[in-house]
Structures are given as structure tokens and as C-alpha cells.
Structure 1
Amino acid sequence: MPKNPGYRNNNNGPRKRQAQLDEQNPVVQAFRSYATELDAKHDRHERILKLSRDITIESKRIIFFLHSIDSRKQNKTKVLEEAQQRLNKLIEVNFRAIALELRNQDVYQFRAAYSPGLQEFIEAYTYMEYLCNEDNGENSKSISDWSALQLIMQYKVEAEKEKPVQEVGDSSMAGEEETAKAVEKFQFFVDPTEYILGVSDLTGELMRRCINSLGSGDTDTCMETCKALQQFYTGYISLNCQRARELWRKITTMRQSMLKAENVCYNVKVRGGEAAKCASFDQKPAEEADEGFF
């Protein structure tokens, strides 16, 4: 006799019948279509995310490679040419693949998937442009704006040819219609907000270049890079970004980079050639320091 009289073995009990769905029911069919649509969206998101990771990794490598420029080795031209080729490959392969995925889609739904890669690419591309225009005079030191970057991300793809019904005497017209439908144009949308965030990261690389140029004895480059940092910071603090949390964080980091560069230039002016040996470049500004734009 079991210890618990109310105990019942579930294995020997009656099994519950599983309800069978009526596939012809309109509600069931609607949810099936929703599931298929969501699965396709998630798969597309994962593919874009993987492409963005590849772009991020390669862009970081290109930035590190650009920092290998040394005036003593005279390798600037060679490094810039190789960096340009690697950046063009990202545009023609990775960004083209993302643009194909986003074709006829709402790009803002997948913005979080490709945003890190796009910002890192903008940082690498603008840094390469800055180095290319560095020796062209003070008025020629510039980087591509948002519209110029958008123009280089235009693509073409061959669409399926649709052969119209050819009538007698209309052979030339039919050929023109077939050629017009053979090529389809599309683009990778560069969000202006992502461009602003990517350029703000450029100031960190300029700060590193300022310090590295002092280590190699190139004080002129050190001074010019510090001026460029000040111009970037002046432009960014003029933006009304009180509610843009990410941009506000980047501006705070930009200020720290600018102060480090100014500290380097101060040591160059005061101590001259001994600045590289005696200066400390890791000083952080005090928290109560007035930034001048609150």
C-alpha cells in the first residue's frame, strides 16, 4: 500500500490529447507568416553584424598601420597607398554586401548591427585623408564630408533581363528596353549622425600622432596636429548635444585628448628638445575644471 494515498503514478495515468492546429485557419496562417518574417529579419541582422565585425577589425588594423608612418623612415607614401587600397576593398566588398542586405529594407531597423563598423571605418578613412592632405598647405588640410563619403558608396548590380514581346519593325526599341532593365543601382546609406560620431573618434588618433611626432623629433607636426584638435573641439562644442548621450561622451573624451596634446606642445615650447624626455603626457584634467560651454 503506498505511503501517500493520494499519490498517483503519472506514467500510468491517462495522457492528455494534444490539440491539432488547423492550418487552414486564417489566424494560424497569419502567425506562420509573422514567424517567417521575423526569422528572415533575424538572419539578415546576424549577417550584417558579422560583416560589421569584419569592417571594425580591418579598420582598426588600418589605423594601427597608419600610425607606423615615421618621418625618419620616409615611408609615408607607401603606407598611405596601401591603406587606400585596403579601405577601397572594404568599400567594394564589405559595404557592398551590407548594401545588398539592406536593399528594399528599412535601414534604421538594422542600424545597431552596422553602426560600430561604420564609425570605425569613418575614423580610419578620415584619418587617412588627413594624412594625405597634411603636406598640401594649411588651407588644404581637410577630410571628406558626409555627402562626399556617400558618393563613393554607390553600387550597381545586374538585374534579371526581361525580354519584351518583339513585334515586327520594333527590334531597336526592344533592345533598348532590355538594356535599360539590365543594371540596377543601389547605395549604402551613410547616416549623418554616424558620420559625426565617427569623426569625433578621429581626434583620439590625432592626439596619438601628436605625441608620436614629438617622440620622433618632428615638432612642427606636433604643433599642427594640436591646432587641428583645437579646431575639431571648437566645432563640436558648438553643437546642441545636451540630450545626445553618446556624442556628449565622445566630446568629453575629445577634450581630454586635446588637453594632452596641448600639454605636449607646452613642453615643446618651454623645454625644447628635452620635452620628450621630461614631459608626462598622461595628466588628466581636474573634474572641477571649467570647460567653457556649460
Structure 2
Amino acid sequence: MLLRSHGRWAFNATVEIRGHMRGCFSSGLITESSAKRLKTTMATENPNPFRHEFEKYCEHLNQLNEKRERLVKASRDVTQNSKKVIFQVHRIGNDDKETVLKQAEKDLNGVRKQHLSRVANELQGNVNDAWKLRRAFSPGIQEYVEAATVLEFCKSGKLLTVADLNNEISKLGDSSTSQFKINILDYLLGIGDLTGELMRLAISQVAAGEVETAKRICNFVRDLYKELSLVAPIMDDNNDMNKKMEIMLQSLVKIENDGHGCLNQVIHQLYNVFLQLAMLFVLEVQRTYLKLRVNSIHTK
């Protein structure tokens, strides 16, 4: 009760002092500069114990926001240059395959050293920030995974694993601190985008007459969709993955339809060739028969 009464007295005294100061300020007894000096003096005499802590929180949030902006810019550069690598890979049908793949690999190394290294340096040594700011750099990581995996498929026909990708990224940072790694969520989302590029590659191969290559791509995408169908339902934050699974199924259907259409076209062409050969054979038989008839008439 005593403490409560003292607290009420202090509060009432503070209210009275402030009211008195307002009256003095309105009457002109205290100038504005004097009021500011008095306020500063009271603040220094009675410092707020929470002010210093909130200033540290404010500084931390400002630094976090600046880091987010730098990650967004770096992720945008990774996305743009990774797309250039994918466009380079799609030139396989027009130019020499070895030359195209070597240039694409060179461009991918440039993306890793010039742009992806900026993301790695920002997040190196702080695992918590990598998850806090994941949305800031996730689009660029997904595009990089897509470019690296489509290049590896064109080279070896195999799927590049997340361990292989992180092994290359580990060469960018300082080994004495905890290094940035591509997390499994961004890797799977990038693999979801991979099937769209493989669908375009398969269609271009069909148009070039490489039916076996298109068939191999179709089998690869089918197996990939079958395996990811087991993983997607149990993923954390799987809304994005569910959308990519729908697009993956559409890509698979397009590859199959285009492959079957090409096969039907080949069969139709073979059928036409067979009919022409059959007609030529019939005409040759008729011509031979007529010659024999004419020769038999002349001999009689």
C-alpha cells in the first residue's frame, strides 16, 4: 500500500509539473528553447533503461533490411544470368553440341563466381539469416539449380544432386566459417522447373528427327515426376511445390503427345512410301504382262 501511494503521489506530481510547464510556456514565461533544454536535462537525469536496448534492436533490424535488399539484387542477377545459360543449352540443335555445352559450362561458372558468391558471402557464418531471408534469394537459387541440372543432363543424362551443387558452392567462401548451402526446398523447387526446360528440349529434338533422344527425355521426366509425387505432399510449405507438380505433369503430357504425334507421322510417311512402292510394283507387273502378250501375238 505504501508503494502504491508513493507511486500515485509521483504520478500526480508529474502531472502537476507538466501542467505547470504548459501554462508557463503558453504565457511566455518559458521559451521554446528553454523547454527543449529542460526536457533534455530531465532525460539525462532520468535515463530510460529500455532506450539503449531498443536502439540495439533498431540497428539490428536496419542491418537486416539492408542485407535483404542486397540479397534481392544478387538473386536478380543470378536469375538473369542463369536464364542465359539455359538459352545457351537450347542451342544444341542448331550448333555443335560439344561447343555449346562448353560455352554453357563457362557461363555457369561465371554465374557462380560473380553473382552466386555475393549471396554466399552475405549469408556465410549465419545460418539463422539464411532461413530468415530465404524468400529474398530463393528465386535466384531455384533458377541456378535449373540451369545447372539441365546442363548436367545434356552432358551425362543424369540428375545433379544437391550435394554436388553445394560442393561447388563450398569453393566460394571461407572454410573457417559455416558456409552457405542450397537447402533441400530450393533444390526441389528448381528441379520442378527443370522439367519445363526438358520439355522444350524434347520437342526441339523431335523436330530435328532425334526421336530416341526425345524418348530418353520423356522417360527421365516420367521417373522424376513419379518420385517427386511421393515427396511433395510431405514437404514443409509445399504450396509452391504443388503448383510446380501440376506444371510438371503438363510438361510430361506434352512430351508424350508430341512423341506419339511424331511416331504417328513417321508411320504415316512409311505407309505412303509403301503404297507408292506397291503401285510401282503393280504397274511394272502390268507392263511386263503386256510385253509378253505382244510378243506372243507376233510369234503367232
**Structure 1 Cα separation of the partners of residues 85 and 172 of structure 2:** 27
Q: What letter is aligned with 2:233?
A: C
Given candidates 52, 59, 70, the residue that maps to 1:36 is 59
Q: What letter is aligned with 2:247?
A: T
1:58 and 2:88 are equivalent in the alignment? no
Report if aligned partners of 1:155, 1:185 keep a CA contact under 8 Å in 2.
no
Distance change in 2, residues 1:101/1:268 (3 Å): same
1:231 and 2:223 are equivalent in the alignment? yes
Matching residue of 1:145? 161
Unaligned runs of 5+ in 1: 1-11, 134-140, 159-182, 276-294
The structure with the larger Rg is 2
Structure with the larger helix share: 2
Distance change in 2, residues 1:246/1:46 (3 Å): same
**Structure 1 Cα separation of the partners of residues 251 and 98 of structure 2:** 27
Q: Identity, % of aligned pairs?
A: 28
Matching residue of 2:132? 109
Q: How does 1:275-290 map to 2 (within 5 A)?
A: none
Distance change in 2, residues 1:156/1:122 (3 Å): closer
Matching residue of 1:255? 249
1:154 and 2:146 are equivalent in the alignment? no
Distance change in 2, residues 1:274/1:126 (3 Å): farther
Matching residue of 1:119? 142
* 1:125-179 per-position Cα deviation (integer Å, ceiling 9, x unaligned): 000000001xxxxxxx212211121111114667xxxxxxxxxxxxxxxxxxxxx
Q: How does 1:105-254 map to 2 (within 5 A)?
A: 105=126, 106=128, 107-133=130-156, 141-155=157-171, 184-241=176-233, 244-254=238-248
Q: Secondary structure at the match of 2:176?
A: strand
Distance change in 2, residues 1:225/1:47 (3 Å): same
Q: What letter is aligned with 1:90?
A: V
Report if aligned partners of 1:211, 1:261 keep a CA contact under 8 Å in 2.
yes
Unaligned runs of 5+ in 2: 1-25, 270-300
TM-score (norm 2): 0.70
With 195-204 and 29-38 compared, the bigger mean Cα shift is at: 29-38
Q: Secondary structure at the match of 2:160?
A: coil
**Structure 2 Cα separation of the partners of residues 50 and 263 of structure 1:** 40
Given candidates 259, 264, 270, the residue that maps to 1:265 is 259
**Structure 1 Cα separation of the partners of residues 117 and 91 of structure 2:** 29
Shift of 1:58: 0.5
Report if aligned partners of 2:142, 2:189 keep a CA contact under 8 Å in 1.
yes
Shift of 1:215: 1.7
Matching residue of 2:90? 67
* 1:157-210 per-position Cα deviation (integer Å, ceiling 9, x unaligned): 67xxxxxxxxxxxxxxxxxxxxxxxx7355221101111111111000011011
Report if aligned partners of 1:99, 1:187 keep a CA contact under 8 Å in 2.
yes
Matching residue of 1:95? 116
**Structure 2 Cα separation of the partners of residues 224 and 98 of structure 1:** 35
Distance change in 2, residues 1:66/1:28 (3 Å): same
Shift of 1:111: 0.6
Report if aligned partners of 1:59, 1:120 keep a CA contact under 8 Å in 2.
yes
TM-score (norm 1): 0.72
- Size of the aligned set, in residue pairs, is 231
Report if aligned partners of 2:193, 2:244 keep a CA contact under 8 Å in 1.
yes
Distance change in 2, residues 1:227/1:43 (3 Å): same
**Structure 2 Cα separation of the partners of residues 37 and 207 of structure 1:** 46
**Structure 2 Cα separation of the partners of residues 22 and 80 of structure 1:** 68
1:76 and 2:80 are equivalent in the alignment? no
Distance change in 2, residues 1:58/1:74 (3 Å): closer
Report if aligned partners of 1:226, 1:262 keep a CA contact under 8 Å in 2.
yes
